[in-house]
Each structure stands twice: as C-alpha cells, then as structure tokens.
Amino acid sequence: MVGEGKLKVENPAEALRNQDGTFKVISPYGHIFQVTCRKGSNRRIRQIGDESETQLLSEPRRWKIEKIP
C-alpha cells in the first residue's frame, strides 16, 4: 500500500490502482507530478515541477511515490 512512506515502483499506475488520496509522483527523469486518486473514478494528474530542473536518476525506470497528507 502506498499510504505508508515512500514507494519505488516501475509502474505507478498499478501502484496507485484503487488508492484514495493525493500523491507526489517523481518520474525516473525527475519530473514531479501531483496525482489525485479516488476509488472508483479516474485519476487526476498535473505536473508540479519545472522541467528545466530535471535530472537523470541512478535507478532508471523506477518511479517514486509518496502520499501527501
């Protein structure tokens, strides 16, 4: 479950399936998104980081997910 601490996954869509809440999701390339999930409905996604500040991470294809209180 995503609700406790940070999670690193290859597929954030699978990890957020059936979750409820707002999450900070960081792509493998440093793009930062705010994802709002509601059980039984679509997800709402918006980018909240500046693309010019992106950087390559040491773990390619791993997404970081953290629940926002």
Specify the pTM.
0.70
pLDDT of residue 39: 80
Per-residue pLDDT of the chain (69 residues; tens, 9 = 90+): 565 678 999 888 888 888 889 999 999 889 999 999 888 766 666 666 655 544 554 445 789 999 998
CB 10 within 8 A of CB 64: no
Among 65, 53, 54, 61, smallest CA distance to 25 is for 65
Which amino acid is residue 47, in one-letter code? Q
CB 35 within 8 A of CB 16: yes
What distance in Å separates the CA atoms of residue 36 and residue 44, rounded to the nearest whole number?
5
Q: Is 14 helix (H, G, I), strand (E, B) or coil?
A: helix
